[in-house]
Structure 1
């Protein structure tokens, strides 16, 4: 059968894939959640969930520097990549070596529902994936009115924030947040902290990943602590599309005080 990935690339498959390499941590979790975990034969060093189920799987280095030789040695019939997470050169090199590479490009919560449904059909797990897709669609149905100005940081040294055209930005929007950093150029804008704080957020989110913000980072925000809320949050909930999405919207609505 011929299928198209999110980038419009055509992939020819003789049957639903049985040997899958996942180069995306969130996708690894999703594969196990829809019953395709037994088909996963390789993952990245950063894949962490479901921890017990993936403990035995070969690690293939990072998302930005996968060990292509090791991937080929596993003889996968499908490699799953994500446009944001993985490099084009690795996708092209694996494809040139005869490997089917399916690329997602999730930049919104709506993308999560449509693209995971499409991939579920490719893997012949559509029925198992359907309840999760329905939960995501239900969470999207009644977004609260925007109420709080949010600055969601993802890194320091240099300081980086969630910007426009990203999954996390859309999740915050559906949670009733107005992402102040979306006004800056770039999907993950870099700027001095003073410039980011000048965007006048009502709440600053400090996620647990990709940079692990903690109490030690609080002194950097001393000058604004009296006029805005500073909250630690689950980085996976903020940035991992898939089985976490519906619950993440509910939890961020609570955090932002916009529960519906």
Structure 2
């Protein structure tokens, strides 16, 4: 069977893959929620959901650095990657081991496409369609609740020293819009470094400090609040803004708790 990934690359699979290596945490969790946990043989050290997985599966490295020999020894039928999470060097290094499926996610439609792809790849179409329907239902309810509420201007910090924010052409930017916020850094691409005196930041009513990849804490709220007395500064669960797999089913309920 010929399948395509989200980069339009072709994968030729003789049969449904039974031995899966996943190099992306959100995709690992998605596999589990699609009922495929027993087929997963290799994961990264960042695949923290569900918690027990790292004790039961072979950890083959991180998302940016892997142990190729460990992956070879597992003899996978397929390796799952992501364009942003995994480097070209990693992909090129593992292509000779097994077919590599690469996701490329910038918005919810891309996420839905990936879930559907996995449903087809692993013959769990009913579960994948049910998951997509659940996420869409949660999204619809949230949109109805917020349709008359104004979009507040927000900045979303992902790193400190240097200060870095989420700009356009990112899944985080798309999720900020889904959560009914306007990203003041949408005029900049990807994850730019900024100065705290940046004119765009001055426009923000709310500053979000993400729990990942930099683990912002309450002390960082205090640090910024002294400079931005007129802004609301909030610690947010980064997984619910950046994980694009089955965790999306919880995102919109979480967004309701952020209502200012």
Preserved contact between residue 157 and residue 165 of structure 2 (Cα < 8 Å): yes
Matched, 1:212 2:215: yes
Report the Cα offset of residue 224 of structure 1. Answer: 4.4
- TM-score, with normalisation over the residues of structure 2? 0.92
Cα distance change of structure 1 residues 225 and 206 upon mapping to structure 2, 3 Å threshold:
same
Residue number in structure 1 paired with 2:71: 71
Instruction: Quote the offset at 1:196 in angstroms.
Output: 6.8
How many Å separate the matches in 1 of 2:121 and 2:181? 34
CA distance in 2, matches of 1:199, 1:246: 33
User: Is 1:174 aligned to 2:173, yes or no?
Assistant: no
Count of matched residue pairs: 255
Distance 1:208 1:254 in 2: 16
Contact in 1 for aligned 2:206/2:233 (Cα 8 Å): yes
Q: Does 1:133 align with 2:137?
A: no
C-alpha deviation, 1:54, in angstroms: 3.7
Q: CA–CA distance in 2 between the matches of 1:199 and 1:241?
A: 29
User: What CA distance in whole angstroms lies between the structure 1 residues aligned with 2:91 and 2:253?
Assistant: 35
How far is the alpha carbon of 1:161 from its aligned partner?
A: 0.8
Q: CA deviation at 1:180?
A: 0.8
Partners of 1:209 and 1:72 in 2: how far apart?
30
1:137-156 alignment runs, 5 A limit = 137-141=136-140, 143=143, 144-145=146-147, 146-156=150-160
Report the aligned-residue RMSD.
1.7
Please report the TM-score for the alignment, with normalisation by the length of structure 1: 0.92
Could you tell me which of 166, 169, 176 is aligned with 1:162?
166
CA deviation after TM superposition for structure 1 residue 64, in Å: 0.8
SS of residue matched to 2:89: helix
Report the equivalent of 2:248. Answer: 245
Displacement after TM superposition at 1:4 (Å): 0.4
1:197 deviates by 6.6
Residue by residue, what CA displacement relative to the aligned partner does 1:101-150 show, whole Å, maximum 9, x if unpaired? 00000111111111211122111111112221112223444744552111
One of 223, 227, 231 as aligned partner of 2:234: 231
CA shift, 1:249, in A, is 2.5
Aligned pairs for 1:11-30 within 5 A? 11-30=11-30
Separation of aligned partners in 1, 2:201 and 2:168:
18
Gap runs ≥5 in structure 1: none
CA distance in 1, matches of 2:34, 2:202: 40
Q: Distance in 1 between matches of 2:101 and 2:71?
A: 14
Residue number in structure 2 paired with 1:191? 194
What are the ranges of 5 or more consecutive residues in structure 2 without an aligned counterpart?
none
Give the match's secondary structure for 2:3: strand
Q: Secondary structure at the match of 2:41?
A: strand
